[in-house]
Structure 1
């Protein structure tokens, strides 16, 4: 990354150029830079350029490529003069890359020695997984029971939880799945297996408990069938509301069953565990032009360290890697993994086309205000969270991760749906970067929040856990911030609370349900 900067870092104009091929750079200064600003490379701004937005480093002819990250992120709709503001209004977005003739497991990646000797204090589970928290999760089969369960959970927290001091929390796994869903449609298994695998999340300690209405399509025996559940789970640990007389009796039944589960969880203790017990989800939301410069590359470095130490890392968001799919298929561990990546991209292309949209629907007004002109630019900054290691596996939506190492979990880019699917995949700790700022949090796993800019880290000082904005200002390197993240993940996995945990910020679970609703 090239910094074009004058002598006084605090006052001088600062623009950031990622690749020597780039013909644009982004403005780093708070508040942007006014017209007439002179940079020490001789360039002079012809108009005001907001923070995070692009400035032309040279004259760019009509239809000529606009290059950032060394890649064409668009084409000029009009002649662009050196020093002008380059934004979405003056750009045409490139066509979506095809899924044909991609490099398949061709990348030659440098060997990196394993990182040994790292442990964290976690909770060992009978299925071989490891929890970073000790939580009672109460699963539901249908949205109809959500309000009753919320009342029960509030009562458990108020009247019961203090009796079990080794349990961190009790969580309602509520969702919007209901009987209107065509339960046997081709895509119907996605939300069902999501709910099933949420109940198997390592932070829930294997203590399955379900609240059912009684008449719903998704019966407990269907929900709890398959790997990870005993047949008796469908009967022994289910409260059916329609079998009880009145609201009070429903609550009593839920609380009584919860006490049995809490007693088991209360016997658990933290103990030293290898980092192979970590399943770290990485995600970005409220992204800006700094995401791909500061936070996400640092997360990528932390990802490399985690994989070398034996952990599993999940990176996601199909639309936010789609324009860099050639980079991913090349890094696949083998031809089979490369083909699985292609299959997930093709499925999602079809899904979007069925809704009458394409990948360009991804970018938000906030992304654009933060300097991201289109999904191509956003994707190139997002994909760097995956680091540089081989991609060992692909996790279809709602399924559980099966392969250790770096995995692509195929999810939508929606923060809440992505987080829900990563939890279903087995995530026990979350790393989330943001440029615009978001109070996003999860009830089932700790979320470490990373600010892309100093200004955000300062203004949201009691919401951001790590400040990657130091990278843009030359105050720390990507590697130094990545090392800080690696150490923070271990500390958080061992019980150190994040800001989202301190404030109790917990977004609702959001199922990905592409099946028809009747």
Structure 2
């Protein structure tokens, strides 16, 4: 005979008038909630239950934030979902809280990892040969060449972790002098200087494309910033950036370019041979590198969520936020992103800004993105997916409240615009679209050498250019996807672990992976394509 079901729910804040169902498979109608009402209907896992009668028009609060108003009468014990809620309008950018940043957390000393030191002062967590492309036209050639490099050359260079082709859909057929074209161009440029590539800039060009190698890498152009504020706190945003200048191809010990249309290439295999010849030079230098002990302050960690559910803001994201605070205390750089998934928390962001300039930059980036969406006749509500809603998230307001907690509790030290390189330590708002693939690409361009990705519905997301630690929000997902999820934060909801314990577990796993331990995505060789953010016209 089965043991009686023990109903479990989570209430984030005492002022909330809803709770979330924790039990796998949800709870049936007639279940009496501990200290609460009896369910008037079955409620799926992750979905909300009204604690009191909520007449039509009543504020629904979760995270002590109004996430909507009831569209119909909902009795105590009733199911509260997206079809029964009216989403509130977006918070105005006027009269936002002035910066009242929390005090910097006490330093955290004594933790290190084994990384690859680069000549520019950055540190890689992987030792990869990367080949940058100027245009999508060469992607097929590069794919063929990468397979040859992997098969024929890499076995001779045991200290090199792999080879990746930085392919993308840009480079020609675009309005390359349009103001917003700076975003994809500087993204491609800064991707090439990611710390995991050891300063070895290898470029594959077709020859006739608009994004010529000398335009992609004008002299002294890595990294490029949108403004003269090299700290990243006064970004001018994606607009108003002067056009790129011409100039000589980026030179230096690590740079080389192969142009397929050059007359010396007679036949396809001539092109491949040229690429492999250049690759050997880069591989020899990369192979001479060894891991050395580095302080945690050399880590540049990007945090992101995808396939989110109602547990994202309860388990995985709070654990990531705790680890974020630990990393910042140790002197590292941590980037949180996803414009539409923090937009409804803008008042929290400006309040946590370290300076008025940081607060202004946050508003400037989010306002620019509002305008970008409006040009496409869309708004932030377009963000939520069917999977988000199936997982209990009623709208983007609720999703944003759970997303923002990845940033921890400390002050926000800086802001960077899409495609910019991060140049300071601490907690940084990297203003990117929320798309998993675009956000990951932009965080790579910013200099990310380690990635944390939380998921509730589940995704095999990975990056070839950087290790990705995936954190499951639920026990059921961690059980079913046991060889895809690196950490199970569902134990917080089931009472088996605390946020603090999971935060420390993630912190130690980050150091282990930074030192060479493989993630599940790396073991299986799973990775997503790089996807550029291009708000400029396509011709």
Per the normalisation by structure 2, the TM-score is 0.93
1:271 aligned to 2:289? no
1:327 aligned to 2:320? no
CA offsets 1:273-324 (integer angstroms, 9 cap, x no match)? 0111100000000000000000000000000000000100000000000000
CA offsets 1:239-289 (integer angstroms, 9 cap, x no match)? 000111111000000010000000000000000001111000000000000
Please point out which of 420, 423, 430 is paired with 2:444.
423
2:235 is aligned to: none
CA offsets 1:182-210 (integer angstroms, 9 cap, x no match)? 00001000000000000000000000000
CA contact (8 A) 1:220 1:234 kept: no
CA contact (8 A) 1:280 1:427 kept: yes
CA contact (8 A) 2:104 2:411 kept: no
SS in 1 for 2:180: coil
1:313 aligned to 2:313? no
The CA distance in 2 between the partners of 1:52 and 1:9, in whole Å, is: 22
SS in 2 for 1:432: strand
1:18 aligned to 2:35? no
SS in 1 for 2:261: helix
Matches within 5 A, 1:20-169: 20-107=14-101, 109-169=102-162
The CA distance in 2 between the partners of 1:178 and 1:170, in whole Å, is: 22
SS in 2 for 1:242: coil
CA contact (8 A) 1:9 1:473 kept: no
The answer for unaligned runs of 5 or more in structure 1 is 1-7
The CA distance in 1 between the partners of 2:344 and 2:48, in whole Å, is: 20
SS in 2 for 1:448: strand
CA drift at 1:111: 4.8
1:207 aligned to 2:200? yes
SS in 2 for 1:100: coil
The answer for unaligned runs of 5 or more in structure 2 is 224-246
1:217 aligned to 2:191? no
1:239 is aligned to: 258
2:189 is aligned to: 196
SS in 2 for 1:177: coil
1:499 is aligned to: 520
The CA distance in 2 between the partners of 1:512 and 1:167, in whole Å, is: 30
CA drift at 1:9: 10
1:471 is aligned to: 492
**CA, structure 1 residues 291+160, in 2 after alignment: closer, same or farther (shift >3 Å)?**
same
Per the normalisation by structure 1, the TM-score is 0.97
CA offsets 1:366-413 (integer angstroms, 9 cap, x no match)? 000000000000000000000011101101000000121000000000
The CA distance in 2 between the partners of 1:240 and 1:9, in whole Å, is: 69
1:447 is aligned to: 468
CA drift at 1:42: 4.4
The CA distance in 2 between the partners of 1:209 and 1:333, in whole Å, is: 38
Matches within 5 A, 1:281-296: 281-296=302-317
SS in 2 for 1:188: helix
SS in 2 for 1:59: coil
The CA distance in 2 between the partners of 1:509 and 1:88, in whole Å, is: 32
